[in-house]
Amino acid sequence: MTNQAKREHLIETAQRLFSRNGYHGTGIDMILKESGVAKKTLYYHFQSKEDLIVEVLKRYDEQFSVMVDRKVNQLADNPKDRLLAIFDVAHEWFSDKHFYGCMFINAIGEYSHTDSSIRDACKGFKEKMRQYIESLCAQTGIEHPKDLSEQLALLLEGSIVTAQVSQNPNAAAVAKKTAQILLSAVP
């Protein structure tokens, strides 16, 4: 396996383990055992566990954002329906047997320091998702798309936490009904 392939394998393994076991619940030794990569190789690519976590979050950000956009566009062909389709995509995600909540919300829960690169990665992802929602809001022609995007993003975040805590994927359907009420005011 090439050096780059080992790095990718470490990231993939860590992502799976962090998602399932949490960040503090996943030690470096567990990652090394699962990946079959030597400790020296891990530290060649990542100076610390925090650096590995940040890289996992960046990778997950890319994958998740692309997946959401692709599925939303498959489900709907106009901006209002795309906004609602976000909640359909969330329902599908919540229904997955490997749904352990949002990796970013979980990371903030475990790494609450306000000046960490982990928090920065989490804030960046959440802002990116809000901006994605805002772009769809703007396409509807609404006068204040940022206001509506903040409301819809809050509904989405609440449904994620509710689905994780209650283990009930229908949290997305409840949020979608509320989003429909908000969107009914859009011309």
User: What is the arithmetic mean of pLDDT over 182-186?
Assistant: 86
Number of helices (H) and strands (E) in the chain: give both, helices first: 9, 0
Q: Are 9 and 35 in contact (CB under 8 A)?
A: yes
CA–CA distance, 176 with 181 (Å, rounded to integer): 9
Which helix (H) or strand (E) segment is 134 a member of? helix 117-139
CA–CA distance, 171 with 175 (Å, rounded to integer): 6
| pTM for this model (two decimals) | 0.92
Could you read off the pLDDT of 1-51 as tens digits, one per residue? 788 889 999 999 999 999 999 999 999 999 999 999 999 999 999 999 999
Could you read off the pLDDT of 132-163 as tens digits, one per residue? 999 999 999 999 999 999 999 999 999 999 99
Reported confidence tier of residue 109, pLDDT bands at 50, 70, 90: very high
> What proportions of the chain, in percent to the nearest 5, are helix, strand and coil?
75, 0, 25
pLDDT recorded at residue 115:
85
pLDDT recorded at residue 114:
82
Task: Catalogue all structural domains in the chain, each as residue range(s) with its CATH number.
Answer: 1-46 (1.10.10.60), 49-183 (1.10.357.10)
